[in-house]
Structure 1
Amino acid sequence: MVKFTLRSGLRWKVSLAIAGVGALVAVALSLVVHNAARASMINSSRDTMDQRIQLAQRYYQSNGRTVLHAKVDDPALPKQLREAAAIGQRATFVQDSGGAPQVWASVPLNNGKILSIHQPFQDRLKILDDLDKALIIGSISVVLGGCALGVLIGGQLSSRLRKASAAARKLADGDRDVRVREAIGGRVRDETDDLARAVDGMAQALQDRLEAERRVTADIAHELRTPVTGLLTAAELLPPGRPTELVRDRAQAMRTLVEDVLEVARLDGFAERAEMQEIELGDFVRRRVRTFSPDARVTVVRSAYVSTDPRRLERILGNLLANAAKHGRGPVDVTVEGRVLRVRDHGPGFPEDLLREGPSRFRTGSEDRAGKGHGLGLTIASGQARVLGARLSFRNADPEAEGGGGAIAVLWLPESSPTSTGTFPIIRVPD
């Protein structure tokens, strides 16, 4: 089942919220003003009609004639006014018959008859219509003004958050000089500053902890080099035989592990710098693959001259081939296409946690990879790629579309030299 999500920017959410609140307030105020104005106008008309009926009553009682369009015992007189006249009361009444309201006024006469006047509320309705138009224009102006204010406020907040996000990504990529609080800038002190300071504090604490762990790891590995070297030297003095071969093999494995741990520690320190040279990638790969893995198949689709560190590139290629030999199955294919280098085996593929999280030291992945290596080969390859300013990615082959399964490691070499911090350049990935 596919779920669709609507993603909108913060500035539009803020503007819509302000516009919505403004619209609600404008509608509420318009209704209150409209009803209050209508009630005031009707009451004013009733007062006017009451004054007219009193004047018409005095004139009728003195002259016996009606004025001001007054009528005696009007058959259209509302029932409410007849009831008021029956108890001797002068009254006014608003009759709403679907069109313009009729304002009535009546008074009982001495002869038992009822004198009444009525007039439509038409003129006042025109004034009320004009008032409604003004209220509508004002409400629209309030909504548009709220939208503009929301875009302005939301834009400033969104800009600060985008700057904070970009700084956090640089920090995650290894640029230790970046500070989120300095990146967002501005004189405004709000929750964004609190978030930036918290992120900077967390990043600094993590960096301090990682640096401490790196130093401990490097110190332990460095202290192990001397006894491991002595152990190898002593193993060479043992008499020939199967036990001697086992001791030499394990001592050599320990020495390789110590050297790998030292290399990881140096890479984690972000102090490594590449020594760039111009090389022809296709020829370089052919010669190195012939040394590392003679059985691997090399295909040069299109060669290119690249500026890179040959020693570090050789280390990456050797680790990728060693990983394919240990954890995959043959044949191993190495493809060069411009600045892109691919190494593929036909084994079970990379484990899901490696594809999701990337290489991790001392984690060998699935059960079928247990006991083969220490998980440092791909970690070192990724670290060396970062020093080169390259990008190393891992994926599994599609069994149907790519002629069987297997693990595929792809190295994209940059078009320019790496940055001073060894961060990733922007590399366009071919489709």
Structure 2
Amino acid sequence: MRGNFRRLVAAGVERAGIRTGLRWKLSAAIALVGALVAVALSLVVHNAARVSMLDNARDLADERILIAQRNFELSGRMNFPNTKIDDPDLPQALRERVEAGRRATYVADRPGGAPDIWAAVPLKNGRVMSLHSGFTDRSSDILKDLDQALVIGSIAVVLGGSALGVLIGGHLSRRLRKAAIAANQLAGGETDVRVRDAMGGVVRDETDDLASAVDAMADALRQRIEAERRVTADIAHELRTPVTGLLTAAELLPPGRPTELVLDRAKAMRTLVEDVLEVARLDGASERAELQDIMLGEFVARRVAAKDPDVEVRIVHESEVTTDPRRLERVLFNLLANAARHGKPPIEVTVEGRVIRVRDHGPGFPEDLLAEGPSRFRTGSKDRAGHGHGLGLTIAAGQARVLGARLTFRNVRTPGAPEEVPAEGAVAVLWLPEHAPTNTGSYPMLPASGA
């Protein structure tokens, strides 16, 4: 249950994408939105300014054509600049409106140039007087200056939006990163860690809601795990007395094959009950190592020789370590028992510095164990030879955790061989820490002779 919880938290943190550049994604999003808004506003302002200038130019042309019309009617002469009678270049749309008896203005756009401003008025003799002028240089300069200011303003908006995005995204990213670190610590067994407290901050937002939800989920799972552990420990504890009585009674039976079978099953049941109790204690995270300084190679060689003289021990490099000899022996014996039960001889133990390797030449570990680690009560055809309760490796992993060590599993295959080719053996590797595991609450003991 606890292993599943750790994997769920780790997977959730990984899927959150915290390390995929949230700060820069948010900055890019704000910069893109700012650029779109700046471009839209620039186009609106540019068009509004252009329309306003053209309207002013048309009004000015309309006033001038009226003055030119009055001068012509009073003097009979064309004395106003840029005016003509029946100009052949007069736009057709403007000509039609003037011939209908209306004074009008017209703007003709020229590709790549300033627009032409036309104004026309009908005369009393039926002819058409028109005035042709261009967009003034001053108006063009003003429009160019406006466009330049809009471009500079748009760039400033994009840069400012990017900086704002970096600040906001950085703040959010830091909070999420702190939450991820706290969640990993929680998954690693540090039950006093609170994601909400680790994030900090005064202003509450959605990340606080997420952290509170994770804390609530962790509390609920922790309570459930603790309840299951207590139930398991209580059941195993209650079974100890009747199992011990059963074993005592079986030893009083007359010798014979039936008695041997009863004794064998009673001993197996007692071993199972003791293993379940040990697993419950390890799950409670209350176990502490009693540390001593030992020569690792010598210690392993003596313990293995006493357990099984047929197992070959090879010391590549001797080293002195600070650990709990009793728990180290428990891990070593469980690995040897697993190799003897599920593997095939020869069984080899190698000591290299602070690393202990136990190898057999059997069918290898199942893929589920390699992917997820040891799991209690895992049986079936996939579990090597298909026997046992799955508690041996679970206890070994738990004791290694108390020692501050790391226990890994792998299969031996010929280099380049495909996955479907059967393994040539299984290797369990115990990596002892460089320093004494004081962070687990362990404490040193006076050196004992014969350790």
Q: State the TM-score, normalizing by the size of structure 1.
A: 0.91
Structure 1 distance, partners of 2:161, 2:383, is: 62
CA-CA distance at 1:14 after TM superposition? 1.8
Confirm or deny that 1:106 pairs with 2:125. Answer: no
Cα offsets for 1:105-158 (capped at 9, x unmatched)? 122223333222222215222221211111111111111111111111121111
- Assess if the C-alpha contact under 8 Å between 2:379 and 2:389 holds in 1: yes
Cα offsets for 1:364-386 (capped at 9, x unmatched)? 35346465211000100110011
**Count of residue correspondences:** 419
- Assess if the C-alpha contact under 8 Å between 1:72 and 1:114 holds in 2: yes
Alignment partner of 1:90 out of 103, 107, 131 = 103
Structure 1 distance, partners of 2:278, 2:18, is: 46
After the TM superposition, list the runs of 4 or more consecutive aligned residues in structure 1 that deviate by more than 3 angstroms: 365-371, 401-404, 419-423
Confirm or deny that 1:226 pairs with 2:238. Answer: no
CA distance 1:413–1:422, change in 2 (3 Å): farther
Match of 2:227 in 1: 212
Structure 2 distance, partners of 1:91, 1:25, is: 37
Structure 2 distance, partners of 1:372, 1:45, is: 98
Q: What is the aligned-residue identity percentage?
A: 70
Alignment partner of 1:258 out of 262, 273, 290 = 273
Greater alpha carbon shift after TM alignment, 236-245 vs 101-110: 236-245
SS of the equivalent of 2:171 reads: helix
- Assess if the C-alpha contact under 8 Å between 2:185 and 2:193 holds in 1: yes
Structure 2 distance, partners of 1:311, 1:51, is: 109
Structure 2 distance, partners of 1:366, 1:120, is: 94
Greater alpha carbon shift after TM alignment, 50-59 vs 79-88: 79-88
Confirm or deny that 1:16 pairs with 2:28. Answer: yes
User: What is the identity, as a one-letter code, of the residue corresponding to 1:327?
Assistant: H
Match of 2:11 in 1: none
Superposed, 1:252-331 pairs within 5 Å as 252-331=267-346
- Assess if the C-alpha contact under 8 Å between 2:365 and 2:383 holds in 1: no
Superposed, 1:5-404 pairs within 5 Å as 8-63=20-75, 64-98=77-111, 99-123=113-137, 124-364=139-379, 366-367=381-382, 369=384, 372-400=387-415
Match of 1:413 in 2: 432
Greater alpha carbon shift after TM alignment, 71-80 vs 38-47: 71-80
Greater alpha carbon shift after TM alignment, 101-110 vs 404-413: 404-413
CA-CA distance at 1:178 after TM superposition? 0.8
Report the aligned-residue RMSD: 2.2
SS of the equivalent of 2:132 reads: strand
User: What is the identity, as a one-letter code, of the residue corresponding to 2:227?
Assistant: A
Structure 2 distance, partners of 1:100, 1:368, is: 86
CA-CA distance at 1:292 after TM superposition? 2.6
Cα offsets for 1:164-190 (capped at 9, x unmatched)? 111111111111111111111111111
CA distance 1:373–1:225, change in 2 (3 Å): same
Greater alpha carbon shift after TM alignment, 351-360 vs 121-130: 121-130
Greater alpha carbon shift after TM alignment, 248-257 vs 295-304: 295-304
Structure 2 distance, partners of 1:365, 1:195, is: 40
- Assess if the C-alpha contact under 8 Å between 2:410 and 2:428 holds in 1: yes
CA distance 1:20–1:164, change in 2 (3 Å): same
Structure 2 distance, partners of 1:368, 1:355, is: 11
Match of 2:3 in 1: none
Structure 2 distance, partners of 1:328, 1:15, is: 57
CA distance 1:235–1:130, change in 2 (3 Å): same
Cα offsets for 1:387-410 (capped at 9, x unmatched)? 011111122223336996222212
User: What is the identity, as a one-letter code, of the residue corresponding to 1:252?
Assistant: K
Structure 1 segments unaligned to the other structure (5+ residues): 424-431
Structure 1 distance, partners of 2:91, 2:26, is: 55
